[in-house]
Chains A and B, each alone.
Chain A
């Protein structure tokens, strides 16, 4: 792997190599001294041009547990506010001998654009509505912990599919690992031609959850109300919210994922989010391990 830009570009073998490497990284995070010298002397720059807590901190911890130097750049206070173009900023960061650029941006394709312009491995930490590959990898890792294999498992992804980079990366990742993926949400949140990604669109929770092994609930962004994609939060939570009642539509041992941050009482009820089937906090724990594995593999850890 030269870059990690999207799951779409990855083979099943590459995905499994990251997941396997993550097992060892998880073990490091469980030690009392959570640090190994693997990436000592390396520099990881986290360029987060869209707000993020979880992913930014997760990448920073991942870099530090491997003894790399981690530097964070955000939009505010950066040269972008002086009208420097993103491409120029990336060239400058690369010129400081960065070893990895981790990039989060609100526009699809930005990590690809930068990867073409700098000679440094680029990790996509979420680009617009396109992909969020490390989220999908940590989701797959979490499911592998609980289910062993994803082969022939039925996975329902529920929410604003149109605007979700998590949905796209999850779809690519889960289907490559052999799962059957359904996506559900109101038609206003279902993008054109989603079938081309090898999934079945459903317009009701009943249809989506029947026989499901896994439910991935997506965050509903209340700012989407402006786009008139749904009439009210109340109506959304009634029709597509996951509650104890609707959870019962899935298999009895079904597990629940959410990329966070959760809207309690909107897309997911508190008693579901905090209960047994939820793996939401495991996802966060595993996120660090998966990102350690990604940084390790991209900096030539394999050789």
Chain B
């Protein structure tokens, strides 16, 4: 029997609506009690006055790069970074090498996770074979092997008939399809948001409509098929409107937004810094405002990082030649906390978007402090100020859009199944 008592923290549990200072007892990897002390003498008491205690965060969109691109990240380094960001579950996308489109790869990833992961890893498998957008993958077999959702992510399924069949088939298996909505023809060679900033710096732009036209298509297909569509990393104001209307009309759609799209705009590309290059691109201030509003009113369900590690030398090239994507596990919390500081959302709503709703969207455990649930928790200091610098990031890759910035808020300890997966080093406490 191991008993851990965390006392004095502000306990935030969106699943029960609890937001109060109290005691949480963990016994043998499970949550024993919340709000009152359980019987028995704790082996360890953690004094957490002034801190927040929340269910561990659930990231339903990440790239762990294993197998195949371990020089960028692997399951060990990626999940260590996730734990450092307060995450207890991360879902990894299928664009590994080989692509995760067979039960063998799905099982391999889960085995590597059991061997090396600091947090829980859930597997998203390819929707089509080889991410080619032509023939659907063996979704039933993949689901039986452990895949919790299907997605071709950035390899967008451009053929609407194929997307329709994927949605229909996934519906039969009871799993969502996660769609990276971007019309690749309309995007063309675009690498940044089309607008005055792209025009000024002469970089090829991609209009917001490259996303919104595809969001509209996929919402129509979700309506047609009755399938659960999850729209990944919404970036445009008009997408939020389309999704709001579809939800009101009863379409089964859920969504996510990234911290970088909530925080940054296309103005950043004026620096030609490739750490501001991602797909979808950072958009206008008006788009960013609509994303914040959509997250606050629940149109956007979740915050997901789209953690996309790339080696430094891969980003140290001409802007158009650089790969898309940024790392995100370790900066998501402080960036998202800005919305609380701006009083756009309550802390309870924020934890809901980072933890409870992502778990519900995917129908996986987590996101709750209910007694009996696995002790997946994060103890965080919402006021801790720290500077984002390469050596401080646990991820093998350092391609953060927030390098050099001072952020406020940091995970101090992360437990996964009662085991301490991360504790901020003493050197970091100063």
A156-183 toward B: CB 8 Å interface, digit per residue (1/0)?
0000001001001000000000000000
Q: Is B272 an interface residue (CB 8 A)?
A: yes
* Residues 73-98 of A contacting B (Cβ, < 8 Å): 85-87
Q: Which residues of B contact A129 (CB under 8 A)?
A: 202-204
From known contacts A85-B313, A85-B317, A107-B320, infer whether A127 and B200 are also in contact, taking CB-CB under 8 Å.
Answer: no
In the complex, how many angstroms separate the beta carbon of A283 from the nearest chain B beta carbon? 21
A84 → chain B closest CB, angstroms? 11
Q: Is B41 located at the chain interface by the 8 A CB criterion? A: no
Contacting pair B316 A87 (CB below 8 A): yes
Q: Of A108, A192, A193, which one neighbours B202 at CB under 8 angstroms?
A: A108
Q: Which of A34-42, A109-117, A260-268 contacts B (4 or more CB under 8 A)?
A: A109-117
Chain B residue nearest to A164 in the complex (CB): B202
A192 to B197, CA, bound (A): 9
Instruction: Specify the chain B residue showing the minimal Cβ separation from A110.
Output: B318
Residues of A within 8 A of B154 (CB): none
What chain B residues lie within 8 Å of A110 (beta carbons)? 318
Chain B residues with CB under 8 A of A168: 200, 202
Contact flag A109-B200 (CB < 8 Å), given A85-B313, A192-B205: no
Q: Which of B188, B202, B271, B272 has the most chain A CB within a 10 Å cutoff?
A: B202
Chain B residues with CB under 8 A of A191:
198-199, 205
Establish whether residues A86 and B318, one from each chain, have CB atoms under 8 Å apart when the complex forms: yes
Q: Which of A8, A107, A127, A162 contacts B321 (CB 8 A)?
A: A107
A165 x B317 contact (CB < 8 A): no
Which of A86, A108, A162 interacts with B317 by CB under 8 Å?
A86
Closest to A107 in B: B318
* Interface presence of B160 (CB below 8 A): no
A33 at the B interface (CB under 8 A): no
- Give bound CA distance, A86 to B272, whole Å: 15
Alpha-carbon distance between A192 and B199 when the two chains are bound, in angstroms: 6
Please judge, given known A-B contacts A87-B317, A108-B272, whether A192 and B194 are in contact too, CB under 8 Å. Answer: yes
How many B residues touch A, CB cutoff 8 Å?
A: 23
- Checking A8, A85, A113 against B272 with a beta-carbon cut-off of 8 angstroms, the contacting residue is A113
Chain A contacts for B207, CB-based, 8 A: 192
Instruction: Tell me, in angstroms, the Cα distance from A109 to B271 when the chains sit together.
Output: 8
Separation of A82 and B207 alpha carbons in the complex (Å): 35
CA distance A110 to B201 in the complex (A): 11
- Shortest C-beta distance, A93 to chain B (Å), equals 16
Give the complex CA separation of A43 and B320 in angstroms.
Answer: 30
Chain B residues near A227 (CB, 8 Å)? 188
CA distance A194 to B196 in the complex (A): 6
Residues from chain A with Cβ under 8 Å of B272 in the complex: 108-109, 112-113
Closest-by-CB residue of A relative to B318 is: A107
Cβ of B199 and Cβ of A109 under 8 Å apart? no
A112 nearest CB neighbor, chain B only: B272
- Determine if A99 is an interface residue (Cβ-Cβ < 8 Å): no
Contact B200 A196 (CB under 8 A): yes
Q: Does any Cβ of B come within 8 Å of A71's Cβ?
A: no
* Complex: chain A residue closest to B321, CB-CB: A107
Indicate if A131 sits at the interface (CB-CB under 8 A): yes
Distance to closest chain A CB from B399 (angstroms):
15
Complex: chain B residue closest to A197, CB-CB:
B200
Q: A108-B272, A192-B207 are in contact. Are A85 and B316 (CB under 8 A)?
A: yes
The minimal Cβ–Cβ distance linking B311 to chain A, given in whole angstroms, is 12
Nearest chain A CB to B194 CB, angstrom units? 5
Bound state CA distance, A220 and B304, in angstroms? 44
Bound: A162/B271 CA distance, A = 20
Give the residues in chain A near B319, CB-CB below 8 Å.
107-109, 113
Which one of A87, A191, A196 has the greatest number of beta carbons of chain B within 10 Å?
A: A191
Instruction: Name the distance in Å between A302's Cβ and chain B's nearest Cβ.
Output: 28
- Closest chain A residue to B269 by CB distance? A109
Determine the residue in chain B with the shortest Cβ distance to A163.
B202
Q: What chain B residues lie within 8 Å of A107 (beta carbons)?
A: 318-321
Instruction: List the A side residues contacting B320 at CB < 8 Å.
Output: 107-108, 128
Interface residue? A64 (CB, 8 A): no
Q: Within 8 Å of chain B (Cβ to Cβ): is A105?
A: yes
Cβ of B199 and Cβ of A113 under 8 Å apart? no
* Least distance between B130 CB and chain A CB atoms (Å): 26
**Chain A nearest CB: distance from B61 CB in Å?**
28
Interface flag for B226 (CB, 8 Å): no
Q: Is A130 an interface residue (CB 8 A)?
A: yes
Q: Given A108-B202, A129-B202, is A193 in contact with B195 using a C-beta cutoff of 8 Å?
A: yes
Contact with A along B42-74 (1 / 0, CB 8 A): 000000000000000000000000000000000
Pairs A–B under 8 Å by Cβ, sample size 25 = A8-B200, A85-B316, A86-B318, A107-B318, A107-B319, A108-B203, A108-B272, A108-B319, A110-B318, A112-B271, A127-B202, A128-B320, A129-B203, A129-B204, A130-B201, A130-B203, A168-B202, A191-B198, A191-B205, A192-B205, A193-B196, A194-B196, A195-B196, A196-B196, A197-B200
Chain A residues engaging chain B, CB cutoff 8 angstroms:
8, 85-87, 105, 107-110, 112-113, 127-131, 162, 165, 168, 191-197, 227
4 closest Cβ pairs, A-B complex? A193-B196, A130-B202, A109-B272, A196-B196
